Chains A and B, each alone.
Chain A
Amino acid sequence: MKIKAQMAMVMNLDKCLACHTCTIPCKNAWTTPAGSEYIWFNNVETKPGIGYPKQWENQERYHGGWTVKNGKPELRAGGKMKKFLSLFAQPDLPDIKDYYEPWNYNYRYLTTAPDSKVQPAVGPRSAITGEPMKVEWGPNWEDDLAGANVTGLEDVNFRGMEAKAYLQYKSVFMFHLPRICEHCLHPACVASCPSGALYKRDEDGIVLADQSRCRSWRMCMTACPYKKVYLNWKTHRSEKCIFCYPRIEAGEPTLCAQSCPGRIRYVGVMLYDADKVREAAACADPAKVYEAQLSVFVDPNDPEMEKQALADGIPYQFVDAAKRSPIHKLVSKWRLALPLHPEFRTLPMVWYIPPLSPLVAGGVAAASDLDNMRIPLRYLANLLAAGDETPVREALHKLMAMRAFIREERFAKNAAAGQTGNEPGTQDDFAADPFVADNVGQPDAATDGLAALGLTPADARAMYRLLAIARFEDRFVVPTVRREIGGGDLQTFKGCAGFPEEIS
């Protein structure tokens, strides 16, 4: 057993409305230099859709991630020998057109144009060549389902479903999927880098691309099944999300997480057993990889594990943060969050709480009737659980039970205070909600509902506090780095583990 610490993130899709506020500070801070215009460490996609780059989830096309061969994890694109002999060109690499050709506008012309009878206008110009171009794709091209009736048909998450039926206006559904690098426990990009430029930081598991070792082999781009490693076309080196490590080291959350107005993001530490990673990635059944990954994590509140973690050299601050980690609660304790495409077997560390959605059947339905949700369970299962509906169903069910319980509790509280639910100014505006309607007037039903899912009222209150109130200090539990480990002022070291000196 060898315990390591990992910085991880959870995103609550129930609350994301694709305002793209996360994307803006990230873009401004990290990917503005020439050559990185098309690179978005953070982008928000609308599902259903094929995303950025086009069809990134389709590994039949890109051959990213891992498969299992003879009981061992093997890069889907092929072994080291095969990749070595084909260093010279990569047929599986996405084309710039799959991401999008970045463009600019000559805004100055708007103010310097000579007098004329018509308003001056500027057209898009390629940021690569400077020539006029036609804009055909972008990092959020399908925003709010734009064009999804066409592109949605190629969405692999419709596996086993009739995509066409769900793309009809009457039955269409959507939700948003913000994406950053997954900082995987078993990263395919790191494994496939021939020159060893990509690495996992030993202290916090953040995956970085060492700019001074990158030789432009671009194996990482094809190997990453999430397509979150990019090639800067000007420096010809790999760049990727750095989990805002200079902020993380100072105890601050990432820019995307801090800026989120919907407070959907959680950042914290997970402890895991590094010796079990390979075994979990070698899980043959795609639908079992999720459970296998859960078994890699260790419980920081177990005194034995705490002792082991400290013995393995994890600083006390990290162990302490792991004990209070919102990620541990959402991922392991309550199992509300699920990994994005666990079947890629990279053991990703940015997890997602599946979104609840209105019931399509109309009228009052049973609270457990998840099959009538507007967003089909099957779709969510294909996205977050390799097609296995059970964990998605369980997570959504818990969210509903938590809502029901909190409403019930409020209702009872208001009733005790002599108010009825219909008085203005009271907090139970949701009394007519179908989810809660079942339970109104049955004081113990909500508690029973919780118990059936293995939750206590205390759990439900804690969940409510974390998910609905979502205070800053509950969402982000980030330990600061010990100065004696860093060996100096953070400012001096900023930039040396990820970015070339000429840029920082």
Chain B
Amino acid sequence: MDLLLFGVYPYVCLTLFTAGLIFRYVATPGEWNARSSNLFAKKSLVAGSFLFHYAIIFTFFGHVVGLLVPVALLRMADFAGQVHFEVATMCGRILAPCVFAGAGILLLRRLCNRNVWASTVPMDIVVLVFILLQACTGGYQDFTAHEDVLPIIGAWARGIVTCQPDPALMRGVPWFMQMHVICGLAIFAMVPFSRLVHFFSLPLTWFARPFIVYRRRYDNA
């Protein structure tokens, strides 16, 4: 079971993630967008979207630093062990409620505004529910449980990305953190099949290009 959940499943998710993205980009480039519903309900979006997006961006980079950076490197920066754990918990205590509130507002407006509901596809709801779930399990760890599993999950995650998976590591991890990992990977797998693709469209090229774009007629044919 461990082998399946923490040895095979992560690779299934990551494969779906990469292959799905490539397939979608090639097959339906026209549907690659953020699926904005700004037109239908502005105030709730301004409230929910800013809160959610900023919180989730910091959360994402927090996870990257917390899990993937090798311990040796962290030690060099004097940022290992107890310090690491305390900082992670503190960040989580700030960010988890923000993510929860932001995603909650977004889900509520999707369910309550009839126009937004009419332009909703099932995947929009699934994604939001998974994110809310993540905020719950993550928040539970930060506020209540305080399980010191960061080094274990970190070691496991580094094993996954370096193709040396060690599913046995996850055996001692409490159930809600196992769920956090499983749902997190599920979100990765969902990316190509949902509106989440939009985070690969972060418009950085905008800064480099002139204001006015000219294109010749059949450049894109």
Interface residues of A (CB under 8 A from B): 73, 80, 84, 86-91, 93-96, 101, 126, 128-131, 186-187, 190-191, 193-196, 198-203, 210-218, 231, 233-237, 277, 481, 485-487, 493, 496-497, 500-502
- Contact A502 to B30, CB < 8 A, known contacts A89-B46, A194-B206: yes
A80 touches B213 (CB 8 A): no
CB neighbours of A236 from chain B (8 A):
33-36, 119
A217 touches B34 (CB 8 A): yes
The docked-state distance in angstroms from the alpha carbon of A187 to that of B129 is 40
CB neighbours of B52 from chain A (8 A):
88
CB neighbours of B49 from chain A (8 A):
88-89
Is B18's CB within 8 Å of the partner chain A? no
Determine the residue in chain A with the shortest Cβ distance to B197: A215
Is B76's CB within 8 Å of the partner chain A? no
CB neighbours of B114 from chain A (8 A):
128-129, 131
Interface residues of B (CB under 8 A from A): 29-40, 42, 45-46, 48-50, 52-54, 114-115, 117-119, 198, 201, 203, 205-207, 209, 211-218, 220-221
The docked-state distance in angstroms from the alpha carbon of A218 to that of B32 is 14
A215 touches B203 (CB 8 A): yes
- Contact A497 to B33, CB < 8 A, known contacts A89-B50, A194-B206: no
B218 touches A493 (CB 8 A): yes
B34 touches A191 (CB 8 A): no
8 Å CB contact of B29 from A80, A187, A201, A212: A212
CB neighbours of A233 from chain B (8 A):
37, 39-40, 115, 119
Minimum CB–CB distance for A255 against chain B, Å: 20
B221 touches A496 (CB 8 A): yes
CB neighbours of A194 from chain B (8 A):
203, 206
8 Å CB contact of B212 from A126, A190, A218: A190
CB neighbours of A86 from chain B (8 A):
50
8 Å CB contact of B118 from A129, A187, A218, A501: A129
8 Å CB contact of A218 from B38, B54, B203: B38
CB neighbours of A193 from chain B (8 A):
206, 213
CB neighbours of B215 from chain A (8 A):
199-202
A199 touches B213 (CB 8 A): yes
Enumerate 14 A-B pairs (CB-CB under 8 Å) in ascending A order.
A89-B42, A89-B49, A91-B42, A190-B213, A195-B203, A196-B213, A199-B214, A200-B214, A201-B216, A214-B33, A215-B198, A233-B119, A487-B221, A493-B217
Minimum CB–CB distance for B154 against chain A, Å: 30
The docked-state distance in angstroms from the alpha carbon of A131 to that of B49 is 27
A231 touches B115 (CB 8 A): no
The docked-state distance in angstroms from the alpha carbon of A212 to that of B26 is 11
CB neighbours of B217 from chain A (8 A):
201-203, 481, 485-486, 493, 497
CB neighbours of B45 from chain A (8 A):
89
The docked-state distance in angstroms from the alpha carbon of A196 to that of B217 is 15
